[in-house]
Structure 1
């Protein structure tokens, strides 16, 4: 569904059908996906400018349409997702790329991700690492402890590492988002939008937030003012945090 929202070609009929149902209820879903991917690209470029040369993309889905390895072409990247079809397809897309891998694992089990042979082969946890948690934690319910999941990854990071996180919110369109949540209930990924304060709490284990803090995705260091538009239509907050 996410690939479809982005205008990609790596999706199936069932994805397009379900995405179309969401778009009827919430046309901004396409804006959400594209603004989120644009934020990811800006965050990756920012990380590279800070000297980071390796990335762990958690809940990555398909590594297409401006994924991390397409932005940071000489960097090492491990993509992680628990959906077998997405991972299998991602592995085909990355075949022959020695700097990138696609791993099937549950991101809410950090040890499973961090100890995976491909993660260990490609990433050096003694060096600064860029962690991407973009548009994924809103699929993790409170009872599974999303803030604790973030904390576990933080504890594995070397000084100088950074986190980029984006998260869906129902703050400005609560009634419409409630309908979307109902739509997602029949998929394998139920949705749990959160407020700005709740998103801020998810990164409490990190020492410092990079300016401008927790903002709507198009407001995080846009390349052009015209790219912001109506930021509330992005339906998501974004934040970058650091490990000094």
Structure 2
């Protein structure tokens, strides 16, 4: 999740976006202020709950698909709290590095993962792949000589224009000697997404975490991933749940190999 004020712990009334997402996903690591903020978000942008739940469902399918292709290590960008059916729950014995910019979220995640030796949470900027790869926990858990799964589920919406995902994803891809698999989502600015509702939700998020949320034209995610050197797999889109409409989000799952030096 995006970074927020460093002194949030001094004000327990301030909602934490990772805990808000945990509440929406059916977790238990949230308080009354987080639940109130989640209700305010849902009132402003009713589709948000369905989008967040569908993103988690898509993440599960992506991880299972990567496991089936021999991936046994994952880097989850903008991970939030490692609860509610998150990567290490799905991936079993695979090694997982959760990456988040919010210091409180990373601290809480560390406590959650204290008895999970093959998973760790680190504080790093998703736009700085070198920072992610140089971290002690990443070096302990991730082998750049083996295939890896990169997950960017729900986080790319927080990249403020004109920033894109091309540079960070290219940096991660080029750091590995074997295939790099990627799964990502991105909100689109087309129906059924209501721009007025998204604007209200964006204003709430901006006040809470000092980071805007942006929907982009259809095709943006595929363009970003294509320019980053990834080829899309034949895999389908975010699955529809009986109780939720298909959210207005573009999805991508694919793979790319490192570019040989020179």
Runs of at least 5 residues in structure 2 that lack an aligned partner in the other structure:
1-19, 258-262
Q: Assess if the C-alpha contact under 8 Å between 1:206 and 1:241 holds in 2.
A: no
Segment drifting more, 203-212 vs 121-130: 203-212
| Mapping of residues 204-243 of structure 1, within 5 Å | 204=226, 205-212=228-235, 215=237, 217-218=238-239, 230-231=245-246, 234-243=247-256
Secondary structure of residue in 1 paired with 2:58: helix
1:158 corresponds to 2:180: no
Residue 50 of structure 2 contacts residue 245 of structure 2 at CA under 8 Å; is this kept in 1? no
Kept after mapping to 2: 8 A contact 1:5/1:29: no
Deviation per CA, 1:52-97: give whole Å up to 9, x if none.
0000011000011111100011100000101111111110111021
Q: Structure 1: where are the runs of 5+ without partners?
A: 220-225
Partner of 1:182: 203
Task: Say which SS state the counterpart of residue 203 (structure 1) adopts.
Answer: helix
Task: Give the match for residue 223 of structure 1.
Answer: none
Question: In the alignment, which residue of structure 1 is the partner of 2:217?
Answer: 195
Corresponding residue SS for 1:10: coil
RMSD (CA atoms): 1.8
Q: Show the 5 A alignment for 1:61-72.
A: 61-72=80-91
Stretch of structure 1 that moved more, 77-86 or 6-15: 6-15
- TM-score (norm: length of structure 2): 0.84
Aligned pairs for 1:59-208 within 5 A:
59-172=78-191, 173=193, 174-188=195-209, 189-204=211-226, 205-208=228-231
Distance apart, 1:168 and its partner CA: 2.0
The structure-2 alpha-carbon separation of the partners of 1:14 and 1:147, relative to structure 1 and needing over 3 Å to count, comes to farther
Q: How far has the Cα of 1:166 moved from its partner?
A: 1.1
Question: Match for residue 9 of structure 2?
Answer: none
- TM-score (structure 1 length as normaliser): 0.89
| Pairs within 5 Å for 1:23-38 | 23-38=42-57
SS in structure 1 of the partner of residue 251 of structure 2 = strand
- 2:62 matches 1:43: yes
Instruction: Give the secondary-structure state (helix, strand or coil) at the position aligned to 2:186.
Output: strand
8 Å contact from structure 1 (residues 138, 192) kept in 2: yes
C-alpha distance in 2 between matches for 1:235 and 1:176: 13
1:20 aligns with 2:42: no
Count of residues paired in the alignment: 234
Q: Is the 1:169–1:237 contact (alpha carbons within 8 Å) kept by the matching residues of 2?
A: yes
CA distance in 1, matches of 2:47, 2:206: 19
